[in-house]
A and B are shown apart, each in its own frame.
Chain A
Amino acid sequence: MLLSILWLLDQGVALQEDNKSSSKKDRSLEELSAKVRDAQTANAPKNERGINESHAYGMAMRLVAELVSGLLVGLLIGWLLDKALGTKPWMLIIFIFLGLGAGIFNVMRAAKQIETAAARKREEDANKANSEEG
């Protein structure tokens, strides 16, 4: 369980790095927009950062729910199959692993969605900053 979580964290880092390397071409633009963003957040009211933090909390809750629900469904199916077929405990064991796999799939998918949403938002923010400047 712990190992899989560590592995997921690793995946998350890899994902972020991936995104960075893909936008290498317009690096100077990227750097400029980063500067603009920094300047904006420096002047932004403090409670905006608070909102971001609790947003992270919401994301964490979401990811945990995805992982646990996959496992729960696997458990339930395995238990029901065992009861129906009388193959205690084999179906339970198989479906716990399948459920864990499904949970990890869910988390990866959710993380990818969050990542693309964040990237889109960053882009929009950068565009907005550009248009405000021009």
Chain B
Amino acid sequence: MASPLAQFEIKTLIPLKVAGYDISFTNSALFMAITVVAIMFFMIAGMRKGALVPSRWQLSVEMCYEFVANMLHDTAGREARKYFPFIFTLFMFILFANLIGMLPYFGFTFTSHIAVTFAMAAFVFIGVTIIGLAKHGFKFFSLFLPHGTPWWLLWLIIPIEIISYLSRPISLSVRLFANMVAGHTMLKVFGGFVVALGVFGFAPFIFIIALTGLELLVACLQAYVFAILTCMYLNDALHLH
């Protein structure tokens, strides 16, 4: 039987080397491409008519749009509006990646690789820091100084706040990555139980059905959490305390 972790293996599909760097087209890259194409199909084909009375498909596209727009407005306020395309792209990309990864047998979840999630989180972190610095200049560093700190605690609070700020991209990326790895590994392990137990395999089989439902929910929830935390960080950068 294959190891439950074999599903996360990266396989090179088209070997490619540029200036000594290995930039081969892998199954991970293939699924990123599939995700982007699926999102584009979902959005463009859904909005093709743009009817006043929307069809079900158009309605679901509009629901995605409104969901993200409301989330951004509620957490980061009016000024954050111009960053909507970025948040929306991030949300849809992670959501579709997680859902496509749930396809049995054929699916590959590239969000289960910390390289992918950390790249996204680092991009968010650096981008938000640049936005904050551009907007507030040197005053941005007052973020590390919470209100009402007694002066004799400053030597302790400032390093703690700086570490807390630096830990953002790590918690953001580890959360998505750990959820995906844990969920998919659990599915594979219980799938192994079904085969190993023979007739009594129906018990883990029923459990897998429930677990699949939970995993679908986690897939949506994690996309939501990633997006809303990005909004919160944006809010911190735009409005200092």
Q: Please say whether chains A and B are actual partners in one complex.
A: yes
A99–B163 touching, CB < 8 Å: yes
Q: What A residues does B163 contact at CB under 8 A?
A: 70, 73-74, 77, 95, 98-99, 101-102
Q: Does A65 sit at the interface, judged by CB under 8 A?
A: yes
Q: What B residues does A55 contact at CB under 8 A?
A: 221
A73–B217 touching, CB < 8 Å: no
A66–B178 touching, CB < 8 Å: no
B160–A105 touching, CB < 8 Å: yes
Q: Does A72 sit at the interface, judged by CB under 8 A?
A: yes
Residue of A nearest to B163 (CB): A102
* Chain A-chain B contacts (Cβ-Cβ < 8 Å), number: 66
A58–B221 touching, CB < 8 Å: yes
Q: What A residues does B26 contact at CB under 8 A?
A: none
Report if A102-B160 is in contact (Cβ < 8 Å); known contacts: A66-B171, A70-B167.
Answer: yes
B179–A98 touching, CB < 8 Å: no
Docked complex Cα distance between A109 and B186 (Å):
31
- Which one of A51, A62, A72, A105 lies within 8 Å of B217 (CB-CB)? A51
Measured between C-beta atoms, what is the minimum distance from A91 to chain B in Å?
Answer: 12
Q: What A residues does B168 contact at CB under 8 A?
A: 69
Number of interface residues of A (CB under 8 A): 25
Most buried by A among B156, B166, B179, B222: B166
A70–B164 touching, CB < 8 Å: yes
A61–B167 touching, CB < 8 Å: no
Q: What B residues does A126 contact at CB under 8 A?
A: none
Q: Which residues of B128-187 have CB atoms within 8 Å of chain A's CB atoms?
A: 156, 159-161, 163-164, 166-168, 170-171, 174-175, 178-179
Q: Does B69 sit at the interface, judged by CB under 8 A?
A: no
Q: What A residues does B164 contact at CB under 8 A?
A: 70, 102-103, 105-106
Instruction: Please give me the 4 A-B residue pairs with the lowest Cβ-Cβ distance, nearest first.
Output: A69-B171, A102-B163, A69-B170, A102-B164
20 inter-chain pairs at a CB distance below 8 angstroms, sorted by A residue, are A54-B214, A55-B221, A58-B221, A61-B179, A65-B178, A66-B167, A68-B174, A69-B168, A70-B171, A72-B170, A73-B166, A77-B163, A95-B163, A98-B159, A98-B160, A98-B163, A102-B160, A102-B164, A102-B167, A106-B164
